[in-house]
Amino acid sequence: MLGDVPGPGVPATGASVPGAPIPVPAVPDRPARLAPYGLRCEHRTEPMGLGAPAPLLSWRLASRQAGDDPVAYQVDVTDLTRPGTSVWSTGRVEDAASVGVRYAGPALRPRTRYGWHVTVWAQDGTRGSAESWFETGHDTWTASWITHDPSRVEPVDPPTRGEQALDDHGLLACPRLRHAFSAPVPARARLYVSARGLYEARLNGERVGDAELAPGWTDYRSRIQYQVYDVTALVRDGENVLAATVADGWWSGFVGFAPRRAGQHYGPFPEFVAELHLSYDDGSTRVVATGPAWRTARGPIRYADLLKGECHDARLETPGWDRPGFDDSAWLPATVAGDDHSSLVASRDEPVRAFERLAPRSVTRLAPGVHLVDFGQNIAGRVRLAVPALPEGRRVSVRHGETLEGPTPHGDPRIGDRLHIANLRTADATDVFISAGRAEVFEPRFTYHGFRYAEVTGLDELGDVHAVVLHSDIPWAGRFACSDPDITRLHANIGWGQRGNFVSVPTDCPQRDERLGWLADAQVFLPTACLNADVAAFFAKWLDDVSDAQSPEGGFSNVAPLLTGVADEGAPGWADAGVLVPWHLYRVYGDPAFLDVEAMARWVGFVHRNNPDLIWRHRVGPHFADWLSPGPPTPRPLIGTAYFQRSAALTARAARVVGRDGDADHLDALAAGIRQAFVKEFVDAGGRVAGDTQTGYLLALAFDLLPEEAVAPAADRLAELVAASGLQTGFLGVSLLCPVLSAHGHDDLAHALLGRTGPPSWLHQVRSGATTVWERWDGVGAPSMNSFNHYALGSVGEWLYSGVAGIGQAPTSTAYRELVVRPSPGDLDWAEASYESVRGTVGVRWERSPEGFRLDATIPPGATATVHLPGGTTRRVTSGDHSFTLVRGETA
């Protein structure tokens, strides 16, 4: 469809269209002397409903004084439901630990809030302290799963008769469930709640919590997360109503690209489970649970689906349905769907939440009643639209698209002003509102779309309209800017790609009928993701999905969560993420709990069993090669064997971390054998790597597969290839490209690639108006595979921090204990970055001026750094703020 014209929405002129800035929280003011801040429990701030029996308690440190390092800490845990009750104390421990102290006191009680207090001491005896809390989850469920049995759904309501048929995609209306009960006001009330599907719970007419798309996506056959809300303020004296709307979501809606009807992946229709625990000062408790006494009816949402969109028929609204006093005698008794709670687990991460609302950048009237809204930024989320009083039954529809296409009769034919929707494939991404004659605000609740543009049909005048940004709540941790605005914009685009694709699971893209947790995309992007945001809890949860998807034979899958119809396993570089991701998380966050060595070793054993000669020739699943590489193909067995070696070597290191030295020795020997086999099979005496492709050299160098004497020739050959042909890597090679060039003395080439503006390159996308990172280097390709929000190629983000700005970690360091500050200025005048590491704030700013070069670095307490200045000078520094200047002539 696109032929040889630029991709949809790509101005032929190359004019840059900046997107929205990412709202980054301010770096906290530092105290004069050593003090903890940013207290986390299981990598979350004040988590509600913790499942871990021995949670990890961690804190960051700050001080304005150089060398103000911790020498000791003490953690005290108290039971806040029994004021004054001490539960556990570490006592003063002569250790600098701040990145993780595991609770080792008596068994934690369920449904209990614990306070914890940390004190840290500096060498001169100064101390600082801070406190936080966590609340444990539920243990013994008594509630039944309840549902609205669709076989009892009556035909559509009278107002819809005689109207143009609504394409409901075969989806069912979203049921509502309600239960009235009487209770005195409690001292404390908690709602434990989940769904097979999505839920929105309400108590006495108020929405409970701010989670979106809860309970999130897992392989529901193994695990369903529940959430916990403090609803004390919502319970009132006398009659109360606990209510919910449930929707298909990932459970029974359309998911992925498999040509499956809704309801064929996990279950046929949504179910709901909830327990409201009311606690009174006299020690008594009362539990209100889902069961046969609940009532149910279809609500005004005629269908809601993640891919298809949502239809809200305001005429079917029954005001007051979620409040006391509503007559539900016409409602049906809820159907009890079962009492099996074995799959219910406490959420490990923060939910999806709604973040900022973007105002339109422009609104264009395309035709009477048809408006095109440009929000200026490609996001995942939905449109919030003020709908005036319209004739009853009038439909307003909102279609979404990432880009525009042309030529069209309207406006600039180079850009076009029609939504480009072909790349959504079967994801209709259309929300519909049907008016009841009243003015209302329409914002769908149980869907999301990947879009920058929205086409609104059915309104003569377009009033208040916003795009609501949705994603998993991952605390933003990184900032980056440099003297080249295009590179700064690239960094922002990478961040927006992360925001749009971290929606309960790390997805490949948020727009088309895919949105799957592809493992390679996640592993190549992970180092960047970890610098942009604190993703420890997000990935801890996803690693459960990865583990649930591992086959009994040890094969890691290619997507997680698994779903029927898309289940496969074992692609090199994809399934290996089951090893690479936990290892990287361990290095960044310092928590050995990420390392499920058993599972990692089973994966390595699985590949080994299928490839006993140590060359990964025999497929254990599909092979996606160096996906979407614009260059010549890298031999598949080479890619496989490189990853096989990497997985074996990292599993060995992981085994050593957790004290399994015997396993580590065995895996080290295997890794050494694979390395030998790799060299024998793929490397010639002059250091040439089979296939002679960039990705071949990158894998060999990055994974340390080459004998000493072959390293320099291989790096030189890589440099020659890059100099001759520019960027020639796909998903697997791209994340290694700039770091490997830098590590082998080719900063100049890494910068040349970064600065390129013709395709294929990162800045070609930026110059073409991209506000996220595209799936394809040039944005041109069959629409069925042309996502404009695919983060894999944005994996260069890691090098922006570590290479350009210079915030890196020494190869043997974990949790940023030993930093490497090695900026690579290229032709830039200045760059700056900061990163809220697990230990505290790291910052680097450097600037070139006619006088010379100046670098300022902030190293958090407890860390040390080696600072490499241009020209070869190296300095070792401790924590604190440090400035270095080189007068002109000293720089290289």
Catalytic (active-site) positions = 514, 775
The DSSP bridge partners found for residue 821 are 867
What is the smallest separation between the CB atom of 307 and ligand BGC, expressed in angstroms? 15
CB nearer ligand BGC, residue 275 or residue 521: 521
What is the smallest separation between the CB atom of 450 and ligand BGC, expressed in angstroms? 12
518 binds ligand BGC (CB under 6 A): yes
Q: Where are the beta strands (DSSP E) in 309-351?
A: 309-313, 332-333, 335-338, 344-346
521 binds ligand BGC (CB under 6 A): yes
CA distance to 153, 263, 267, 305, per residue, from 251 (Å): 20, 7, 6, 10
CB nearer ligand BGC, residue 514 or residue 534: 514
250 binds ligand BGC (CB under 6 A): no
CB nearer ligand BGC, residue 266 or residue 518: 518
Residues within window 704-723 making contact with ligand BGC, judged by CB under 6 A: none
Stretch near ligand BGC under the rule CB under 6 A, chosen from 368-376, 513-521, 526-534, 748-756: 513-521
Beta strands 271-279 and 502-503, pairing class: unpaired
421 binds ligand BGC (CB under 6 A): no
Stretch near ligand BGC under the rule CB under 6 A, chosen from 13-21, 157-165, 422-430, 512-520: 512-520
CA distance to 692, 710, 765, per residue, from 713 (Å): 12, 6, 32
Stretch near ligand BGC under the rule CB under 6 A, chosen from 151-159, 300-308, 515-523, 822-830: 515-523
Q: For 400, list phi and psi in degrees, rounded to 5.
A: -125, 145
514 binds ligand BGC (CB under 6 A): yes
Q: Which of 42, 76, 310, 508 binds ligand BGC (CB under 6 A)?
A: 508
What is the smallest separation between the CB atom of 571 and ligand BGC, expressed in angstroms? 7
CB nearer ligand BGC, residue 776 or residue 848: 776
Nearest to 263 by CA among 201, 168, 188, 171: 171
What is the smallest separation between the CB atom of 508 and ligand BGC, expressed in angstroms? 4
What is the smallest separation between the CB atom of 702 and ligand BGC, expressed in angstroms? 19
Using CB under 6 A, count the residues that bind ligand BGC. Answer: 8
| H helix or E strand, kind and range, residue 227 | strand 224-230
What is the smallest separation between the CB atom of 785 and ligand BGC, expressed in angstroms? 7
CA distance to 108, 118, 211, 396, 723, per residue, from 132 (Å): 16, 9, 22, 47, 53
Residues within window 624-683 making contact with ligand BGC, judged by CB under 6 A: 624, 627
What is the smallest separation between the CB atom of 572 and ligand BGC, expressed in angstroms? 11
Buried b (16+ CB within 10 A) or exposed e, 463-495: eebbbbbbbbbbbbbbbbbbebebbbbbbbbbb
* DSSP 8-state class, residue 689: B
Q: Give the integer Cα–Cα distance in Å for 733 and 526.
A: 14
Contact between 36 and 20 (Cβ < 8 Å): no
CA distance to 186, 455, 884, per residue, from 399 (Å): 46, 5, 54
Grouping H, G, I as helix, E, B as strand and the rest as coil, residue 307 is: coil
Q: Give the integer Cα–Cα distance in Å for 714 and 780.
A: 32
Grouping H, G, I as helix, E, B as strand and the rest as coil, residue 231 is: coil
Binding mask 862-881 for ligand BGC (x = CB under 6 A): --------------------
Identity (one letter) of the amino acid at 46? E
Contact between 91 and 74 (Cβ < 8 Å): yes
Full DSSP string of 402-442: SEEE---SSS-TTT-SEEE-GGGTT---EEEEE--SS-EEE
CA distance to 596, 692, 754, per residue, from 739 (Å): 28, 19, 12
**Which ranges of 515-576 would DSSP assign to H, the alpha helix?**
519-532, 536-548
CB nearer ligand BGC, residue 39 or residue 524: 524
Q: How many CB atoms lie within 10 A of CB 264?
A: 16
CB nearer ligand BGC, residue 520 or residue 549: 520
Residues within window 569-628 making contact with ligand BGC, judged by CB under 6 A: 624, 627
What is the smallest separation between the CB atom of 24 and ligand BGC, expressed in angstroms? 27
494 binds ligand BGC (CB under 6 A): no
What is the smallest separation between the CB atom of 794 and ligand BGC, expressed in angstroms? 12
Stretch near ligand BGC under the rule CB under 6 A, chosen from 518-526, 630-638, 732-740, 848-856: 518-526
Beta strands 352-358 and 332-333, pairing class: unpaired
Q: Give the integer Cα–Cα distance in Å for 330 and 418.
A: 46
* DSSP 8-state class, residue 621: S
CB nearer ligand BGC, residue 637 or residue 843: 637
42 binds ligand BGC (CB under 6 A): no
What is the smallest separation between the CB atom of 577 and ligand BGC, expressed in angstroms? 10
CB nearer ligand BGC, residue 328 or residue 775: 775
520 binds ligand BGC (CB under 6 A): yes
CB nearer ligand BGC, residue 543 or residue 628: 628
Stretch near ligand BGC under the rule CB under 6 A, chosen from 26-34, 158-166, 442-450, 516-524: 516-524
CB nearer ligand BGC, residue 463 or residue 565: 565
Stretch near ligand BGC under the rule CB under 6 A, chosen from 35-43, 62-70, 372-380, 507-515: 507-515
Q: Residues in the site for ligand BGC, rule: CB under 6 A?
A: 508-509, 514, 518, 520-521, 624, 627
